[in-house]
Amino acid sequence: AALTDYLGFEALDGEFKVMGIAPFGDPEKYDLSSLAKFNGRRLKINNHLVGTVGIRRYKAQSKGHYFSRQLVDMLGPRRVGNLVDDPYVHYAAAIQALYEKLAVKIVQSYLGDMIHETGRLAVAGTSSLNIRLNQKLGEIDGVKALLINPASGDAGTAIGAAAFAASKQTEPLKPAKHFFLGPKFTRNQCVEACKGHREKPVWEILDDPHAKAVELLKAGEVIGWFRGRMEFGARALGNRSILADPSQPGIAQRINKLVKFRESWRPFSASLLESAADDYIDRGKLNSHDEAMALSVKTTAKFREAYPDVVHVDGTARLQVVRDDNNADFHNLLSQFADATGQRLLINTALNRPGEALVCTPEEAINAFHGTDLNYLILGDLLVSKREEVDDW
């Protein structure tokens, strides 16, 4: 949080941006090891530099920050403005590398024996929203299965509390088969949402929503996709998504212009059929595929050449592997798209507007649709489009 603040982003919110710019820098250029150390038993944070409170906080324009004047003396002034360049991009790389190093050491120190005994590592908490850290955790010797809570923020603590209470009652806990635990909505509810919406969207009932979606995607459209039960957690996993053909030239810029309006250095994620995983993912030491978009993976040269808009500067990507027994409906869409185009993946980003949560209800989906420049939304079995404006003149 302190370095997020120092790098000019919002502490406790913009950490993912630090993670995103880190691959553009050189982690060896600056040594930030004085910020935190792990001695095999305890993690020690240097509160003379970061995590400061009270009068030790660095203050600028009447605002107290999460770091001290000593850190500014050591690294230079806090970054301001939109440009992320030298030295700040290298600071981001260095703090990400330090974060990974410390976390891996802590896990190995406290859980190493258990990992070698079981081959399993389960992680939760806000730290496990860091997809690059999760990649490193999955590469620890002995880890054969990495289990990541898809709701790793504060809300996910409810799962731990419930599991703990159940264990005290000797209630058997069953592994989750999928992450689609939210509400789903009927055709009638989707129709009523369209009829009652202030924008009066145009809608029609589709005999085959998947075929229509493939037709639109092949034509280069970026579409909203709202079907089935809502995902548990922050990631769009194919039920509350914005989808696009990743082979379309400049597709990332188009999505940003139409919907996301986010920094150009943040690549988009993608969902792919399980049959494509070995062709596209360089698994290295990773022994399991990611079904929740919770970690970054190394990609093959074939993938990087074909789909540059979903590859980060370091050659990694955030890829969801979709199985038929995990999400049959989305798997069906990916399969039909593959049959029609030969491409076994789609860009998949959250169906929401900037600064808003993933949509849940049909009303929220229509709100998000009308708050962007998308032309089409598949809403259950409906094709939703926007009413043409009539010039009164």
Question: Is the CB of residue 385 less than 8 Å from the CB of residue 376?
Answer: yes
- What is the reported pLDDT for 143? 94
- What is the reported pLDDT for 171? 76
User: Of 185, 200, 165, 346, whose CA–CA distance to 270 is shortest?
Assistant: 346
- What is the reported pLDDT for 388? 83
Strands (E), 230-344: 240-244, 270-273, 281-282, 297-299, 316-317, 319-322
194 vs 281: CA distance, rounded Å: 40
382 vs 202: CA distance, rounded Å: 10
Question: Is the CB of residue 336 less than 8 Å from the CB of residue 347?
Answer: no
* Residue 142 identity (one-letter amino acid): G
DSSP 8-state code for residue 50: B
pTM comes to 0.94
Residues 6+ apart with CB under 8 A from 25: 89, 90, 91, 92, 93, 94
Question: Is the CB of residue 100 less than 8 Å from the CB of residue 92?
Answer: no
Question: What is the bridge-based pairing of β-strands 270-273 and 345-350?
Answer: antiparallel
- What is the reported pLDDT for 83? 72
User: Of 13, 31, 106, 100, whose CA–CA distance to 296 is shortest?
Assistant: 100
- What is the reported pLDDT for 156? 80
Question: What is the bridge-based pairing of β-strands 270-273 and 319-322?
Answer: parallel
Q: What is the pLDDT along the chain (393 residues), one digit of tens a residue?
A: 999 999 999 999 999 999 999 999 999 999 999 999 999 999 999 999 999 988 899 999 889 999 999 999 999 999 998 777 899 999 999 999 999 999 999 999 999 999 999 999 999 888 999 999 999 999 999 999 999 988 888 878 888 888 889 888 877 888 888 999 999 999 999 999 999 999 999 999 999 999 999 999 999 999 999 999 999 998 999 999 999 999 999 999 999 988 878 887 788 999 999 999 999 999 887 777 789 999 999 999 999 999 999 999 999 999 999 999 999 999 999 999 999 999 999 999 999 998 899 999 999 999 999 999 999 999 999 999 998 875 555
143 vs 108: CA distance, rounded Å: 11
Domain spans, the chain: 2-168, 187-385
Residue with tokens 């009308």: 370
CATH numeric code, 187-385: 3.90.870.20
User: Of 157, 141, 148, whose CA–CA distance to 295 is shortest?
Assistant: 148
* Residue 78 identity (one-letter amino acid): R
Q: By 3-state DSSP, what share of the chain in percent is helix, strand and coil, each rounded to 5?
A: 40, 15, 45
